[in-house]
Amino acid sequence: MLHRLPKATARRGRIVCSLLQTPVGRVALALVLALVGGGQAFGKIGFRQLTSTHPVAIQRGKTAELKVRTNFTLDGAYQVMLDRPGVTMKCLETEPIKAPRQGRGSKGTPFRFETTADADVTPGVFEFRIATEQAVSSVGQLLVTDFPVVVETSDENGRPESAQVVELPAAVCGICEKFEDVDCYKFRGSAGQPITIDIYAQRVTDRIHSMVVKGPRIYLMDPILTLIGPNGQVVAQNDNFRGGDALVACELPADGEYALEVRDARFAGDLRYSYCVEISEQPRVFGFHPMAVQQGATSSLEVIGHGLGGLTKSDITAGDAAGWRQRQVETPRGRSNFAPLKISPHKQLVESANNDVREQAQKIDLPVGLNGRMEKPQDIDFFRFTAKKGVHYRFQVEARRFGSPIDAVVELYDVNGRVIAEADDFPKHHTKDSRLDWTAPGDGPFTFSIRDLHDEGGRRYTYHISVEEALPDFDLFGEYYYAMLSPGVRMIWFARIDRLNGFEGPVEIEVEGLPAGVDQTPVTIPTGMNHCAVILNAKPDAPIGAALVRIRGRATTPNRHGEMIDIVRDGYVTCEQQSSGGGQSRWPIQTQVVGVTKPLDLIDVTASPAKITLKRGETAEIEVTIERAAEFKDAVTLDMEFKYFANVLGAQLPPGVKMSSKSKARLTGDNLTGKIVLEATDKATLVEDLPIAVLARVSITFSITTNYASTPILLTVSQ
């Protein structure tokens, strides 16, 4: 049964979440919530901003209670959605709990959740979203571990002498809760015993909306691990191993009691610095070399790890399903942890031993998957292939995302050794793994190289790079983090595409998996455009409910041989993260969520006419009427773009069409009707029946607005 919120609570901090699907919304969300907690009139609805989870881990096959902290109440939480099967969460609170915002950097209010991890679920970090009757949440994170979970006690444990005793193996969940906080844990060990100590800190907090601890540079926890032996001497220490997370792998030098010290490398601390340290003898695989095997093939792979009992190679048979998979290996000391391995449809090659100068580049035939390693600092690998004039090629590195520390740089050379193309990071995908799309300027041999940006190397510096002819293609991006709609209300997302390898055709944009009672206005990005509005509509009788959805683009186009091919691309999803001074950054996530909620600030936004034909060089008018909730009195601004100052973050109009300054776009008080004037240049892109909507924007602070969508309008631009 759904729990009703008290009236005062339901009105607290009203921000409609379609805004939060956009950079402005999520950039300045902290300021908005600060207003809510500051005693202002409660006339706007706030999304549920999750700030931490503790304990942040659960052992597979177990049920445990954990606390999720949030800004704004999670009263009425009826569903928790996770990015993949194997874990369930249920809210245990039966009475309303106030969750006031206390300014930027608020630690949030805890809510209890019963959490169960299936016995056969693959360990790793899960992403979850919570749905309440009034709102959906930002992203929370949870680690599923192989080991029994031990929670840090409230006793002082800041020194080795007062360290908390743990039995191995253990997944110790604690919080580095204040500046200069140090947590110590002790366990007994014996001489020669292989131990791996792996901390999950950044990996279980990097998708939290607000992790500003002390600007301008202190955000996520930067953990450092120090292992102290029975004689009081440091046995091992590590700062960064997987990104900012530390890992210690060693053999214990003597029998006796060992102390593990956990702290932030800068001695920073915050209640949001929740972590889990796995301490075990389990054979630990860091990765495989090669990193990929061909579908259906059996390959002997080098196993890179610690405590493997002398195991150096493992024969692994690939399945038929392509993609990255988690694999375990059997060692003389037992079964290892899970480590990533790619299953590829392409032939796989391993770099030759003498390809570290361009003149000795290893010859390859395409398509191919190349597996190599920066064996030592300043190592570089060269490969030679034959290209055809006008053909598109793609060089795709996969390494950093799957555990390798390499920051790969790809450089392409002509026959004279001149660099003609290069790729370092791939910022569109928010990864250090590079991708290069290139069109051959002529027939003949070309050479490319791969190296580490910082000239580092070692056994773990492995990479996989696929090289193949690239078909017409597109990447799909946009502002579609999440949406909340009350019955009868519309919200808007924005999609854009990057056209690749000569692709010019139309792309149908669809949202799959919408909750009951919600549909999407069908939309196709036409030739000549690279963006569109994605209008979500909740029917008047839509029931309260939520679902994880997926935005996807579909197209059909000829390849270079004239054969028709289908292109299907999922949208890259990112969340907004608050940075110091009200700025924002982006981080890749897995989930998009749409929720149907109780009534919001605007009851309806209508626009007429429903169809417009706009001739080049002329103007057209749209009349807009809003209907307010009784308690909502703020100004509403009408617009056709989503902007943050001069930056256009979401576009929908064809190139050459814009909103005229003659529009009547600000509605205050009892004024419920406005006017949008569209004007087209004499070179405006021609479109037919393109769905657009007027944005009704509610200003929350100077830098944040809520975007509702009007009834859809079909726009035609003609000669």
CA–CA gap between residue 35 and residue 700 (Å, rounded): 9
Q: Do residues 662 and 709 share a domain?
A: yes
- Single out the residue of 8, 279, 263 nearest to residue 147, CA to CA: 279
Dig out the tokens for 637 from the structure. 């601004």
Q: Do residues 295 and 314 share a domain?
A: yes
The domain of 363 spans 288-336+338-469
Q: Do residues 658 and 640 share a domain?
A: yes
CA–CA gap between residue 437 and residue 276 (Å, rounded): 40
3-state helix, strand, coil in the chain (%, to 5): 5, 50, 45
Q: C-alpha distances in angstroms, 189 versus 76, 145, 166, 180, 253?
A: 48, 22, 11, 28, 9
CATH number reported for the structural domain that contains residue 397 in this entry: 2.60.120.380
Q: pLDDT per residue over 177-215, tens digit each?
A: 999 999 999 999 999 999 999 999 999 999 998 888 887
Q: Residue 402: CB partners within 8 Å, gap ≥ 6?
A: 287, 291, 324, 340, 342
116 pLDDT above the threshold of 50:
yes
Q: Do residues 425 and 500 share a domain?
A: no
Average pLDDT score over residue span 622-634 = 93
Residue 302 pairs in a beta bridge with 289, 313
* Spatial contact of 393 and 418, defined as CB atoms under 8 Å apart: no
Q: C-alpha distances in angstroms, 193 versus 199, 230, 250, 332, 607?
A: 19, 14, 8, 14, 72
User: What pTM value is reported for the model?
Assistant: 0.90
pLDDT at 689: 98
Dig out the tokens for 250 from the structure. 């060693």
Q: pLDDT per residue over 315-325, tens digit each?
A: 998 877 899 99
CATH number reported for the structural domain that contains residue 525 in this entry: 2.60.40
pLDDT at 583: 63
Q: Do residues 276 and 164 share a domain?
A: yes
Q: Domain boundary residue among 126, 144, 162?
A: 144
Average pLDDT score over residue span 589-602 = 94
Q: Do residues 171 and 108 share a domain?
A: no
Instruction: Name the pLDDT band for 106 (thresholds 50, 70, 90).
Output: confident
Buried b (16+ CB within 10 A) or exposed e, 642-661: bbbeeeebbbbbbbbbbbee
Q: Domain boundary residue among 103, 119, 144?
A: 144
3-state secondary structure of 583: coil
* Spatial contact of 348 and 290, defined as CB atoms under 8 Å apart: yes
CA–CA gap between residue 148 and residue 168 (Å, rounded): 9
Instruction: Give me the number of domains the chain comprises.
Output: 5
CATH number reported for the structural domain that contains residue 140 in this entry: 2.60.40.10
* Spatial contact of 83 and 590, defined as CB atoms under 8 Å apart: yes
In a domain, 111, yes or no: yes
Q: Starting from the edge strand earliest in sequence, which strands make up the sheet with 284-289, in order?
A: 284-289, 298-306, 313-317
Q: Do residues 300 and 398 share a domain?
A: yes
Average pLDDT score over residue span 346-369 = 95
Q: Do residues 87 and 182 share a domain?
A: no
